[in-house]
Amino acid sequence: MNKDIERARERIEALSEEIEAHNYRYYVIDDPVISDARYDQMIRELEKLEKQYPSLASPYSPTQRVGGRPREGFATVRHLSPMMSLANAFDEGELRDFDRRVRQALLDEHVRYVVEPKIDGLAVSLFYENGLFSRGATRGDGETGEDISENLKTIRSVPLRLRRMVPALEVRGEAYMSKDSFAKLNEAREETGEPLFANPRNAAAGTLRQLDPRITASRGLNLFVYGIGYNEGVDPSDHSEVLKLLKELGFRVNEFHLFDNMDEVIKFCLDWKSRRFDLPYAVDGLVIKVSSLGQQQRLGATMKSPRWAIAYKFPPEQAVTTVKNIFVRVGRTGALTPTAEMEPVRVAGTTVSRATLHNEDNIREKDIRIGDRVLIQKAGDIIPEVIAVLPDERKGNEKVWSMPSECPSCGSRVVRAEGEAAVRCTNMACPAKLWEGLIHFSSRNTMDITGLGPAVLAQILAGGLIHDPADLYSLRYEDLVALERMGPKSVQNLLGAVEASKKNSLSRLIFALGIRHVGERAAKILAERYESLEILMGAKEEDLIAIPEIGPKIASSIVSFFAQEQNVQVIDKLVKAGVNTRAEKKGSGSGMLAGKVFVLTGALENFSRQEAQEIVERLGGKVSSSASRSTDYVVAGDKPGSKYDKALALGIPILDEKGFREITGMD
């Protein structure tokens, strides 16, 4: 086989695999690890290769898909009309190519363009029946999405009733989080030791996928609508008319501009490059659409994108500054993360003085040295990153940086595992690892020890009161009350929260241990498979790999974690302290709710959605995301949604919070 073709095949396969991995992180688990610019670069490289070697192009290529699959935890709904993605343009030439293709296809008819800001958020679809909000969903794979109706209802700019009746209307929009709300959310998460969101889009996506609508409501999401997917009873002929109609119906519509030619569009796009930083929300480009709906219909679409619209993507704003120093931060898993300290410079509307350098390989690849002049930008206009060094500006006194061979926090040896980019501290008792690990151990989604924030933890550690997570259960009143700003009431509340955490589920404890690669989902799967933590500790790697969703990397990490004597000692202390290490049995005959199916809707006063679900599952029942004839009970809190109405229609017993407490034996 021709060597060029073979190399192209290998590159196409590698790119496809990497892009799909990033699609999963972005669309499914809401945890992107690369910038939009890098993702776009990979897509464009793959498109170029597939165009150059059409015989190697696969119908299953990432270039032929719209987005990710729906995520578990929500019901799946089918869109009445597909939600397609947009092709991208990155410069004036690509905009003119788009204009040329449009005019050629329309036989040089006059074309008017509508231009709107491209909000950096999460695409959603809203469906209305007879003027009333019926359901809402994420884009998903374009054909089907996740039913997030309850969460969309918490966005106050989403009308629950249209200003006039329309028989059927499917509206497309973008849910987003403002820059101010994003900053406040990350500040709050930092206080409680929770992972920070990378950007407002990531935060909006995670917020709309919360199982508890009260959390969604607290985060201040907003929404702009920008189009109609399906309708009965309205008949606009132009996209500008669509936007005016949507505004009349009560939707929040962003500003839009009509232009008679591409020259005007390009001038507008260039003028907007700097203006975007003045907006209270993130905008990553402008959307250009053929305004005539008749022309749109004739232009049609490819398998993934309409031919009548394109997204002009803004280049990230960049600036030049000097690297003053490189320091290292140690995370809870022991990973050493190098960070550049720089001369302050203004970029994308704010002053930047630090930027993560990710890992040693990144520094070597870019040849970043202390004293270098560097080009920086903000990923997503939020997170500072070093793009490149300016070698022509070197003076000869720049210093090559090396990763320290010892941990900067505790002085222990650091190691780099084969195949990994991260360098890690090997000392479990490392103060930096302990600090980060304790924050994770006590956070809301793990052991949920309220009152144990970073400030309190800092005092407890400084006082030498704890040396590992198990020591939290031996804290004494007299030691805590002697700490600064720890009054008797605060101490009592903290000790009460520590005591209450002993009764948490096994899945919470597994997640809290901080085993590498074991997230919340994997912890639940393990707790369902093993009756106790002690049995899990003895599991072999081949047994773990045989469990669905537990791959070789997770299995190896689990076995390695429990093979370390210091970890076994910590778990032994947890057991002696009375922390629950056993799973509640489920299924037939294994609890008072065995075989019963519950549906939760509305806000409960004394339970979060997750807590109510854990109670049901602990007693042998199951929680479903949608009501059906197989549902035994619907638990309805404040402002229940469509599940409540369906329960009434099907005659399913409905419990209020008091009834829920009674049926679960809590009263």
> Three-class SS string for 406-446?
ECCCCCCEEECCCCCCCCEECCCCCHHHHHHHHHHHHCCCC
Query: Bridge partners of 253?
Result: 225
* pLDDT band (50, 70, 90) for residue 192: very low
Q: Which two tokens stand for residue 356?
A: 């993560």
Which pLDDT value is given to residue 26? 60
Give percent of the chain above pLDDT 70. Answer: 91
Q: Which two tokens stand for residue 259?
A: 């232009």
Average pLDDT for residues 612-620, to the nearest whole number? 80
Average pLDDT for residues 386-410, to the nearest whole number? 91
Average pLDDT for residues 61-77, to the nearest whole number? 59
Which pLDDT value is given to residue 171? 96
For helices 262-275 and 92-105, the axis angle rounded to 10 degrees is 150
Residue 630 confidence (pLDDT) above 80: no
Residue type, 504: N
For the chain, the first-to-last Cα distance in angstroms comes to: 75
Which pLDDT value is given to residue 445? 80
Long-range contacts of 274-281 (CB under 8 A, 24+ apart): 274/317, 276/117, 276/314, 276/381, 277/317, 277/348, 277/349, 277/381, 278/349, 279/117, 280/178, 280/179, 280/180, 281/119, 281/120, 281/121, 281/176, 281/177, 281/178, 281/179, 281/200, 281/222
* pLDDT band (50, 70, 90) for residue 422: confident
Average pLDDT for residues 125-143, to the nearest whole number? 90
Q: Which two tokens stand for residue 413?
A: 């040896």
Which pLDDT value is given to residue 194? 57
Which pLDDT value is given to residue 579? 95
C-alpha separations of 460 from 89, 195, 444, 479 in Å: 54, 22, 19, 9
Question: Cβ distance 32 to 26 under 8 Å?
Answer: yes
Give the separation between CA 648 and CA 192, rounded to whole angstroms.
Answer: 40
Which pLDDT value is given to residue 648? 85
Of 382, 317, 392, 395, the C-alpha closest to 356 is: 382
Which domains does the chain carry? 3-64 (1.10.287.610), 76-313 (3.30.470.30), 318-415 (2.40.50.140), 431-576 (1.10.150.20), 597-663 (3.40.50.10190)
Largest Cα–Cα separation, the chain: 85
Average pLDDT for residues 278-307, to the nearest whole number? 90
Residue 66 confidence (pLDDT) above 50: no
Top-ranked range on mean pLDDT: pick from 120-124, 413-417, 590-594: 120-124
Q: Flag the least confident range among 144-158, 176-190, 289-303.
A: 176-190
Instruction: Spell out the residues 6+ positions from residue 574 whose beta carbon is closer than 8 angstroms to its own.
Output: 469, 470, 473, 509, 581
Q: Flag the least confident range among 31-40, 232-241, 373-382, 585-594.
A: 585-594
* pLDDT band (50, 70, 90) for residue 195: low
Average pLDDT for residues 135-144, to the nearest whole number? 89
Which pLDDT value is given to residue 379? 58
Q: What is the pTM of this model?
A: 0.50
Average pLDDT for residues 460-475, to the nearest whole number? 90
Residue 70 confidence (pLDDT) above 50: no
Residue 68 confidence (pLDDT) above 60: no
Q: What is the pLDDT of residues 307-349, one digit of tens each?
A: 999 999 987 778 899 999 999 988 777 888 899 999 999 887 6
Q: Which two tokens stand for residue 468?
A: 């590992």
Which pLDDT value is given to residue 429? 66
Between 666 and 237, residue with greater pLDDT: 237
Give the separation between CA 517 and CA 249, rounded to whole angstroms.
Answer: 47
Average pLDDT for residues 517-544, to the nearest whole number? 87
Give the separation between CA 630 and CA 388, rounded to whole angstroms.
Answer: 59
Average pLDDT for residues 492-510, to the nearest whole number? 92
Residue 543 confidence (pLDDT) above 80: yes
Q: Where are the beta strands (DSSP E) in 26-139?
A: 76-78, 88-89, 113-119, 122-129, 132-138
| Residues that are catalytic | 118
Question: Cβ distance 126 to 173 under 8 Å?
Answer: yes
Average pLDDT for residues 99-110, to the nearest whole number? 94
Q: What is the pLDDT of residues 400-421, one digit of tens each?
A: 999 998 989 888 888 887 777 7
C-alpha separations of 333 from 238, 516, 525 in Å: 55, 7, 22
Q: What is the pLDDT of residues 159-180, one digit of tens each?
A: 888 888 999 999 999 999 988 8
Average pLDDT for residues 577-592, to the nearest whole number? 71
3-state secondary structure of 295: helix
Q: What is the mean pLDDT of the chain?
A: 84
Which pLDDT value is given to residue 36? 66
Residue 190 confidence (pLDDT) above 80: no
Which pLDDT value is given to residue 174? 95
Residue type, 249: L
